Amino acid sequence: MTSARYVLRIPDLDSGPKILRSPIPPEWIDEILGDTEVRHSGVPGEISISITKTGDDVLVRGTVSVTVQVPCSRTLEPAVYALKPEVFLLLTHRRGPDRGRSASAKRAAEKAKGEAAKGKPGSEKAGAAGGKGKGGKGSVGWDTDPELSDEDAATDTYSGDEIVLDPFLREFILLEVPMVPLREDLRDSNFEARPPLPENPERMGDPRLSPLGLLKELLQKKE
């Protein structure tokens, strides 16, 4: 994991809300997402957020704009996506040990759960990435795990005098990446992976293919 780049100092918020606008260098994307297949596209990104402290709570709102590439699920060629996730975090001060899953992990699990419910391909991979499967050690079954409200999904914790935003930004970016990425020219097309009928099936050495050759000859005669 890369060294922290976006760090908030709690004492700096005592004087009032702060605005953070900063470019996101492409190399940061490769570092923060180094354990995934997501990489930068060469285009710098941008972070624009406001930070407000109310009591011990810190509210972070804004957007992150990044352009990333990920292998296409059909061709393995780069699929480029311009992402602009909305950042909404309510960070509460943690005075004791942090128990249970963090809200970041819950957000990822909620996305995987939603995709699995729709029956979309790739949902199993997302479920594995979000944690151990049902019945595994330390796992939380989706059938017993309550769905998050919008408020709960945005709530997380911090401790000390600093908040490192990098891992939170990582989660928001990852949640915007499609679970089945496609090249732009394939996103609106009906792709059918049907190989063409071999010219001479009988020459392929498998006698079970000979009926295909006869069928092809009959079709050609009818034409």
pLDDT tens digits along 27-40: 999 999 999 999 99
pLDDT above 60 (res 180): yes
Is 80 exceeded by the pLDDT of residue 96? no
Residue 154's pLDDT is what? 54
| Choice among 44-58, 72-86, 152-166 with the minimum mean pLDDT | 152-166
In a domain, 207, yes or no: no
Stretch 47-56: mean pLDDT, rounded? 93
**pLDDT band with cut points at 50, 70 and 90 for residue 46:** very high
* DSSP per-residue string spanning the chain: -PPP-SEEEGGGGTTS-EEEEEEE-HHHHHHHTTTSS-EE-S--EEEEEEEEEETTEEEEEEEEEEEEEEE-TTT-SEEEEEE-PEEEEEEEE--S---S--HHHHHHHHHHHHHHHHT-TTHHHHHHHHS--TTSTT---TTTSPPPPHHHHTEEEE-TTEEE-HHHHHHHHHHHS-SS---GGGTTS-----PPPPS-GGGGS-GGGHHHHHHHHHHHHH-
Residue 56's pLDDT is what? 87
Asked if residue 159 belongs to a domain, the reply is: yes
Q: Do the domain assignments include residue 129?
A: yes
pLDDT for residue 217 is more than 90: no
Does the residue 196 lie in any domain? no
Q: How many structural domains compose the chain?
A: 1
- pLDDT, residue 200, reads 57
CA–CA distance, 103 with 4 (Å, rounded to integer): 20
In a domain, 24, yes or no: yes
Q: Is 212 domain-assigned?
A: no
Would you say residue 195 lies in a domain?
A: no
Which domain range does residue 94 map to? 7-186
Measure the CA–CA gap between 167 and 4, rounded to whole angstroms. Answer: 9
Residues of the chain with pLDDT > 90, as a percent, come to 44
User: Does residue 217 form part of some domain?
Assistant: no
pTM value surpassing 0.85: no
Q: How confident is the model at residue 23 (pLDDT cuts 50, 70, 90)?
A: very high
